[in-house]
Amino acid sequence: MSSNLQYRSPYTVVDALPPGYSRRPAGEPERATITFTIDGQEIQAPEGIMVVDAAKYGGVEIPVFCYEPKLGAPVGACRMCLVEIEGIPKLQTACSTPVRDGMVVVTKSERVVEAQNGVVEFILLNHPLDCPVCDKGGECPLQDISYGWGGGESRMVEPKRHFEKPVALSDAIAIDRERCILCYRCVRFSQEVSEDYQLVLLDRGAGAHVGTFDGTQYIAPFSGNIVELCPVGALTSRAYRFRARPWDVEQGGSVCTLCPAQCNVSYTVRDEQVMRTLSRENAGVDDGWLCDKGRFAYEAWESDARITTPLVRQGDKLMPARWEVALTAAANILKKSGPRTAALAGGATTNEEGWLLRRLMLDGLGSPHFDSRRGGEFDFDVARTLANPALAATMPDVEWADALLVLDCEPVDDMPVLDLRIRKGVRRNGVKLAIASARPSSLDAGATRVARIAPGGAEAFTQALLAALGDGGDVETLCENAGADAAEVRAIADLLAGAKRPVIVWSERLAVTGRGAAPLRAICNLADRLGIAAKDGAGLLEVPLSANARGLREIGLLPTAAPGLMHCDNPGLDATGIAAACGEEISALVLMNTDPLSDYDDPTAWSAALAKAGAVISFSTWMDAATARHADVVFPAEVGPEKDGTVTHPDGRIQRLRQTVERAGEVNAGWWVLNELGRRVGVDLGVKVANQATAQIANHVGIYAGVTTAELGGDGVRWQERDAAANLPRPARTTFDLTPPPAAPSSDGYLRLGVFRSLWSGGEVVNAATLATLAAAPRRVELSPVDGERLGLTSGDAVTVKTGDGEMSAVVALRDAVPAGFAFVSADLRLDEGDEAAVATLGRALASTEERSAEVTK
Partner 1 sequence: MSAAPQNELRHEDSVPQLADVSVPAELKAWIEERMAMYPEPKSATIPCLMHAQKLHGWLSPDAVRQVAAVMRVTPAYLVSVASFYDMFELKPRGRHTIYMCTNISCMLRGADAVMAELEAQVGVDNGGTSDDGIYLRNFECLGACDIAPMASVDGTYIGPLTVADAKALVEDLRAERDVLPEKHLTRRPAAATYWAAGKRIEQGGER
Partner 2 sequence: MDDLLFHDIDEPGLNTIEVYERRGGYETLKKALRELDGDRVLAELQASGVRGRGGAGFAMGTKAGFLPKGTMDKYLCCNADESEPGTFKDRELMQKNPHQLIEGIVLASFAAGINKAFIYIRGEYDAQASILEAAVREAYEHGHLGENIHGSSFGVSLVVHRGAGAYICGEETALLDSLEGKRGNPRLKPPFPANAGLFQGPTLINNVETLSNVSHIIKHGGEWYARIGTEKSTGTKLVSVSGCVQRPGNYEIELGVPAREIIFGLAGGPLPGREIKAWFPGGSSSPVLTPAELDLAYDFDTIAGAGSMLGSGAIIVIDDSVSIVDVCLRTAMFYKHESCGKCTPCREGTNWTTKMLQRVSDGLATPMDLDIIASVQKQIMGNCLCVLGDAMAMPVSSMVNKFRGEFEAHIEQARAKHTPLSEAVRAPLDLTKQGAIA
Binding site for ligand SF4 (CB under 6 A): 180-186, 210, 229-232, 234-235
* 812 binds partner 1 per the rule CB under 8 A: yes
Calpha distance 495→550 (Å, rounded): 29
242 interface partner picked from ligand FES, partner 1, ligand SF4, none, CB below 5 to 8 A per type: none
Which of 219, 712 has the CB closer to ligand SF4? 219
Which of 72, 740 has the CB closer to ligand FES? 72
Q: Which of 81, 326, 365, 555 binds ligand FES (CB under 6 A)?
A: 81
Calpha distance 191→185 (Å, rounded): 10
* 164 binds partner 1 per the rule CB under 8 A: no
Contact 425, 399 (CB under 8 A): yes
For residue 554, give the 3-state DSSP assignment. Answer: helix
How distant is the alpha carbon of residue 510 from its chain centre?
A: 19
What's the burial of 511, exposed, middle or buried (CB within 10 Å: 0-12/13-18/19+)?
buried
* 791 binds partner 1 per the rule CB under 8 A: no
Contact 248, 270 (CB under 8 A): yes
Calpha distance 768→780 (Å, rounded): 22
Which of 185, 779 has the CB closer to ligand SF4? 185
How distant is the alpha carbon of residue 176 from its chain centre?
A: 30
Calpha distance 399→802 (Å, rounded): 42
Residue 433 neighbours by CB under 8 Å, 6+ apart? 404, 406, 422, 425, 426, 443, 446, 447, 448, 449
Instruction: State in angstroms the smallest separation of the CB of 429 from ligand FES.
Output: 23
Contact 191, 237 (CB under 8 A): no
185 interface partner picked from ligand FES, ligand SF4, partner 1, none, CB below 5 to 8 A per type: ligand SF4
**H or E element that contains 38:** strand 33-38
* 64 binds ligand FES per the rule CB under 6 A: yes
Instruction: State in angstroms the smallest separation of the CB of 503 from partner 1.
Output: 25
* 181 binds ligand FES per the rule CB under 6 A: no
Instruction: State in angstroms the smallest separation of the CB of 782 from partner 1.
Output: 8
* 119 binds ligand FES per the rule CB under 6 A: no
Q: Helices 351-359 and 690-700 meet at what angle, rounded to 10?
A: 70
Instruction: State in angstroms the smallest separation of the CB of 16 from partner 2.
Output: 20
Cα–Cα nearest to 466, from 408, 528, 543: 528
Contact 546, 260 (CB under 8 A): yes
Q: Which of 773, 809, 832, 858 binds partner 1 (CB under 8 A)?
A: 773
64 interface partner picked from partner 2, ligand FES, partner 1, none, CB below 5 to 8 A per type: ligand FES
Which of 295, 830 has the CB closer to ligand SF4? 295
Residue 23 neighbours by CB under 8 Å, 6+ apart? 721
* 204 binds partner 2 per the rule CB under 8 A: yes
Which of 746, 773 has the CB closer to partner 1? 773
234 interface partner picked from ligand FES, partner 2, ligand SF4, none, CB below 5 to 8 A per type: ligand SF4
Which of 235, 647 has the CB closer to ligand SF4? 235
* 317 binds partner 2 per the rule CB under 8 A: no
Calpha distance 395→264 (Å, rounded): 13
Which of 93, 462 has the CB closer to ligand FES? 93
Using CB under 8 A as the binding criterion, the count of chain residues that bind partner 1 stands at 37
What's the burial of 600, exposed, middle or buried (CB within 10 Å: 0-12/13-18/19+)?
buried
* 7 binds ligand FES per the rule CB under 6 A: no
Calpha distance 607→618 (Å, rounded): 15
* 777 binds partner 1 per the rule CB under 8 A: yes
The torsion of the CA quartet 56, 57, 60, 63, rounded to 10 degrees, works out to -20
Which of 68, 287 has the CB closer to partner 2? 68
Interface with partner 2 in residues 125-184 (CB under 8 A): 125-126, 155-156, 158-159, 161-169, 174-175, 177, 181-182, 184
Instruction: State in angstroms the smallest separation of the CB of 280 from partner 1.
Output: 24
* 77 binds ligand FES per the rule CB under 6 A: yes
* 442 binds partner 1 per the rule CB under 8 A: yes
126 interface partner picked from ligand FES, partner 1, partner 2, none, CB below 5 to 8 A per type: partner 2
* 227 binds partner 2 per the rule CB under 8 A: no
Residue 570 neighbours by CB under 8 Å, 6+ apart? 368
What's the burial of 603, exposed, middle or buried (CB within 10 Å: 0-12/13-18/19+)?
buried
Which of 184, 400 has the CB closer to ligand FES? 184
* 67 binds ligand FES per the rule CB under 6 A: yes
Which of 170, 385 has the CB closer to partner 1? 170
Calpha distance 509→458 (Å, rounded): 10
Contact 228, 383 (CB under 8 A): no
Instruction: State in angstroms the smallest separation of the CB of 117 from ligand SF4.
Output: 20
* 80 binds ligand FES per the rule CB under 6 A: yes
Phi, psi of 708 (to 5 degrees): -130, 160
Which residues sit at the interface with partner 2, rule CB under 8 A? Answer: 74-80, 82, 90-91, 93, 96, 114-115, 118-119, 121-123, 125-126, 155-156, 158-159, 161-169, 174-175, 177, 181-182, 184, 201-209, 211-212, 214-215, 238
Binding residues for partner 1, rule: CB under 8 A, are: 191, 196-204, 212-214, 216-217, 219-221, 412, 442, 445, 773-774, 777-778, 780, 785, 788, 794-796, 811-816
